[in-house]
Amino acid sequence: MSRTTYGFWFQVSSDPHRFNGEDTIAATVARRARDGDPVYRWIADAPGALAWVADIYAAAIRAILPTGVEMHPARSDLDPPIGEEFVGPIRLDDCSWPATYPRTSAGELDLSTLLSRIDLGQLLGRAYMLNRS
């Protein structure tokens, strides 16, 4: 089965502050922690906590992707660096995704809508509660 790029994190993220190809899941988590509820700011300033929440967010993203679609890690070794990449089958006829996966008007997988189903605020809240205990 031939594969193609479905887009990079900055293209499919629902983060209104995403800015370019260098944006990553970890940068989105840091922005949301820093700019959101003040009780979450410590996450942006604690590298271990930030990495932990970013890993949980990435795992939630991988879990929601349909069979055959993968998220490749960000590449900081490139010039310029790029964020996470989503790759999947070129021919959607080769896919047997249930109707519950959102599609664009062109019939393609709507990654932005799909990823918006994951509540990053809830993940930050969980990290806050675990840190308190």
88 and 69 in contact (C-beta within 8 Å)? yes
Work out the angle at residue 15's Cα, subtended by the Cα atoms of residues 78 and 129, and round it to the nearest 5 degrees. Answer: 105
The DSSP 8-state label assigned to residue 74 in this structure reads: P
| Distance in Å from the first CA to the final CA of the chain | 48
Q: What is the pLDDT of residues 92-125, one digit of tens each?
A: 766 777 777 888 888 788 898 999 999 999 999 9
Token pair of 113, please? Answer: 């809508």
| Tally of residues, the chain | 133
Show the domain range for 60: 3-132
12 and 112 in contact (C-beta within 8 Å)? yes
Q: What is the pLDDT of residues 49-100, one digit of tens each?
A: 999 999 999 999 999 999 889 999 988 887 777 789 999 888 776 677 777 7
pTM of the shown model: 0.86
In this prediction, residue 18 carries a pLDDT of: 60
Domain count, the chain: 1
Q: What is the pLDDT of residues 3-59, one digit of tens each?
A: 888 888 888 887 666 665 568 899 899 989 998 889 999 999 999 999 999 999 999
Closest alpha carbon to 29 in 10, 51, 7: 51
